[in-house]
Every structure is written in C-alpha cells, then in structure tokens.
Amino acid sequence: MQSSPHSPRTGPLSELRIVEFGGLGPGPFACMLLADMGADVVRIDRPDAAPTDPRDIVARGRRTVFLDLKQPAAIEQVMRLLEQADALVEGFRPGVMERLGLGPDAVAQRNPRLVYGRMTGWGQSGPLAQSAGHDINYIALSGALATVGEAGRAPVPPLNLVGDYGGGSLYLVTGLLAALMHARATGQGQVVDAAICDGVLSLLSNNQSHRLRGLYRDERGANMLDGGAPYYTTYETADGRYTSVGPIEPRFFAKLCEQLDLPDALRDAQNDRERWPALRDAMAAAFRRCTLAEWSAKLEGSDVCFAPVLTLDEAQQHPHIQARGGFMQIDGVTHTAPAPRFSRTPSAAHATSAAAAVSAETVLTGWRTRTSPSNPNPRSEI
C-alpha cells in the first residue's frame, strides 16, 4: 500500500479531485483519509508556510501549491483549479473565504457541480460561530467531555479523537461523499457545513437513548461503558501494567469469572450495582496476581473480551497488528496504514516530501490530461 506522491492513484476515489486549503486538525485528517482512498488532493498553502515534515503522517498523499491569497492573480489561479475540481475543503472561520472572493456563491458561478466542504468547530451559524475554540471546548459544550474520567474526579480530555477526528473529520468525509453522489446524479454541488459540535452530538446518540430510557446516570464512572461497570474497565497487573476487559454478554462474563477464579457468590453480580464494589475489588485482586504478559498468554484470543493496554510502540509489535499490516514504512518513517480496507480498489498511503510542492499550472495540466474527449467533464463522475 506504499507509493510515491507521483504514483498513479489507486483506491475507490481515484477519479476524485479535491482542493484543500491548508489548516490544522480535522480538515487535514479528512483529506488524508480521502487521499488514502485515492483522491487527488491538492493543498493550497501560504508562500511562507513551513516545508512539510515527512514525519507528519496526516499531511501525506498531497501535492502543495503555494499561493498568496491576498493577490488577485493567486485567487484566479485557485478559481481555475476549482473549475476542474470535484470538491473543496476549508477550515477557516465563517466569512473568511467570502472575503477572499472564494465563497460558495462565487465558486458555484465557475463550477456549479463543486461540493464545498466547510470544517469548523461551532458551525457556520449560531452565537459562537465566530469564536475561537479547540477540540476540548467543542466536546465540553456538546456534553461528551462530562462523561469521560473517573468518578469524583475532573473530566479527562480523550486526546482529540472524539471532537476533531470523530465528530469533525469523519462527519466531513461522510458529508462530502454524500454530496458528491448527489452532484453526480444531478450536476448540482452544495455546501457541507461540518461542525465538530454537531458531529459530537450525533456521536452521543446512543448515550442520549440510554438517558431517555433511564439506563444512564449523568455522572462519571457510573455507567457500563465509562468505567463504572467492573466488567468493562481496566485493571492493574502485578508488574504495574494494565489489562482491559469488556465481557458485556453474560456468557463471556461467566468465562472471565472462571479464568479469574472469582468467588461463586459474585458470579451472578454482573448487573447488580449494589455488588459492583465487591466485584471490582475481587477482579482487581485477581489481576494483581500475574503480570501483563502472563495474563496475555492466558486470556488473549479467548472469549473473555480481553486485551493488554499497549503503547503505540508496543502496538506496532503485536502479532495481530502486524498480521493486519496496521503500520507501514514509507521513506524510513513508520506510518499508520490506510483504513478501511477495500477488496477491489485497495487504498494506498502516498508519500509526502518536499518534491510534492508544485505550481497550479502543473496541477491543471495533469487534470486536463485526464479529461478525455468522450468525457469532457469527468468531475461529474466519482
């Protein structure tokens, strides 16, 4: 799945052309996913932007055109690219692209089929739309941050996985692909307003359902999936490492009880909240009897729903991750592999290097070459 930035594109999106405006966080990650799936993503960046670090995995697979968007000539070059593109991705505050003369209405006059992806934290409208913020703020306001952490302790930010990447990048990609299907069928592009705050609320749908049914408590460490349940949490081992267990199904919980040799009096306590403290203490004492390696040898691969808690370095060495090709080497840099996997049109991680910087005319020449006489407007086909 490795290739150079100039290799022929493979993947299910190999006929897709995307113009990305340089930014941070969820927009670039979304474009990495699209590039991995074969899309030809060209990034527009400032002339004074730092060269791309080859260790920046999220930046892989793109060529970069450096343009000063304060110059009318540069805006015209961007417009010429957008005329040939299928989609645009930008992550500025609402109104910035309009002030540059690159807003949705202006672009639609040059390419009515173009799908205009807008990635923000708060969205294009609302009282906070013009406010600065980051992942932690969006998941805080949406209600997700309040659910993460130990009982009686402060909330803990779950990296930027829930907001930037879960509620942001993945919803942007989903929206773009849906709008592109619509554009292919109708010839009409549209704006995709992807707000992290909106996406996180959507991710919380299952939690909201549990609340409405009276199955969820609005306190940390008190529910099945937040570490409150003794059968769905982590435990320290004899060597100070940690295991994870999650046998939600009663038959899997019974198997874990057998492996841990828990007292018979606690084997029917899985869903008895009154006995959760006693069950947790018994499971903690059991796991402290052996090292992580010993527990892995005994439980891994069984139906007790077990996995060791590994670091990223350790994950690279795990037999399952290796068998699945979860990491790969590109130009001496260890990259995470593309996901998901496709049976007919496999994704590919395209390398990123200083050589990936090109002129707008070079991109346009290549894009025109891909336009055949029988299909003078291939951007209408994904």
Helix, strand, coil tally for the chain in percent (to 5): 40, 15, 45
> Among residues 86, 135, 164, 226, which one is catalytic?
164
Both tokens assigned to 220: 């940390």
CB 135 within 8 A of CB 126: no
Buried b or exposed e, range 233-262, using 16+ CB within 10 angstroms: bebebeeebebebbbeeeebbbbbbebbeb
**List 134, 182, 210, 318, catalytic entry:** 134
Q: What distance lies between CA 71 and its chain's CA centroid?
A: 34
164 carries an active-site annotation? yes
The count of other CB atoms within 10 Å of the CB of residue 375 is: 11
Q: Is 182 a catalytic residue?
A: no
Contact 126, 142 (CB under 8 A): no
* Backbone region of residue 25 per phi and psi (left: phi > 0; alpha: psi in -120 to 50; beta: other values): left
Taking the C-alpha atoms of residue 16 and residue 382, their distance in angstroms, rounded to an integer, is 6
Residues designated catalytic = 134, 164
